[in-house]
Amino acid sequence: MSWATHYIEKLKNGETVQFRPKGNSMKGKIESGQLVTVEPIGKRSLEKGDIVLCKVNGTQYLHIIKAIQGERFQIGNNIGRINGWVTLNSIHGICTSIAT
């Protein structure tokens, strides 16, 4: 079980979740320990620049959609790393709030 498994299960059940992610990969957008709110995708249309809770190659991330190609989404962090391409099935929620 990875760090976000519990939150992903709640999102799949239509619940909104809040948590404080740790790490510096999103520095400048989300600082380590800041409170974030993540909601289910629902009927939203995802866009480049959205911060999403997703799974890429077996690893869970709260990272940015860097590009969209048809029904594929490129996921990366805020310091230059690209994690890879996923489909909507691997995106579990969208960040709607970052507490300051």
Domain range summary for the chain, segments of one domain joined by + = 5-98
- Residue where the block lists tokens 């790393």: 81
CA 57 to chain centre: 14
Which helix (H) or strand (E) element contains residue 72? strand 72-76
Domain 5-98 classification at class level: mainly beta
Report the alpha-carbon distance of residue 19 to residue 33 in Å, rounded: 8
Model's pTM, two decimal places? Answer: 0.96
Work out the percent of the chain whose per-residue pLDDT is above 90.
97
Residue range 30-53: mean pLDDT, rounded = 97
Sheet containing 59-69, strands listed edge to edge, beginning at the edge strand earlier in sequence: 17-19, 36-39, 91-98, 51-56, 59-69, 72-76, 82-87
Which helix (H) or strand (E) element contains residue 94? strand 91-98
pLDDT above 80 for 97: yes
Structure-token pair, residue 74: 């490129």
Confidence of residue 100 (pLDDT cuts 50, 70, 90): confident
